[in-house]
Structure 1
Amino acid sequence: MLLLKRLRQAGVIAAASDGPLDLLQRGKSLAAQDRLLLKELIKQYIALRYRGDEADISMARQWRRQVRRFKPVRA
């Protein structure tokens, strides 16, 4: 939960409607370790949020692909 607090303070998490790429793009200014934690946090969020409805499952798959392709810049 400390990571969530840091992400909110850094302005990475702004709106509940943000997609994973929005969070990752805003998270580029974070330290490398925090960016990896952010990526993991998004994966967990997707797994918890989208579990059932076909449309939700489709959206979750799309988000997972985007998160998987994101490569954090090494500091």
Structure 2
Amino acid sequence: TLQQRTRAHQLKQQKHTDAQTKTVQNRAQLQQTQDDLQTKKARLENQKQKVVQSKDKVEKQKVIVDRVQNRLGQLQKECQ
């Protein structure tokens, strides 16, 4: 009957609309996830830079400690 066909058509349209809505929601969610990952990546890069800088400082301090220890050794020999 006409009513059944109309109802079937409405259901088909509703399914299509629901699918489009779901696709839009999924795209928005994916974009948000990508944005979050970019933010986390940038934060990690920043932390990595800080670690590298800290390592450099430690290496420089090690060099200074070695020099001081060498000089101390020389002075101790001179005092004997």
> With structure 1 as the length reference, what TM-score do the two structures score?
0.29
Give the structure with higher Rg (CA).
Answer: 2
Q: Compare the two structures and name the one with the higher helix fraction.
A: 2
> With structure 2 as the length reference, what TM-score do the two structures score?
0.28
> Which one scores higher on RCO, CA 8 angstroms, separation ≥ 6?
1
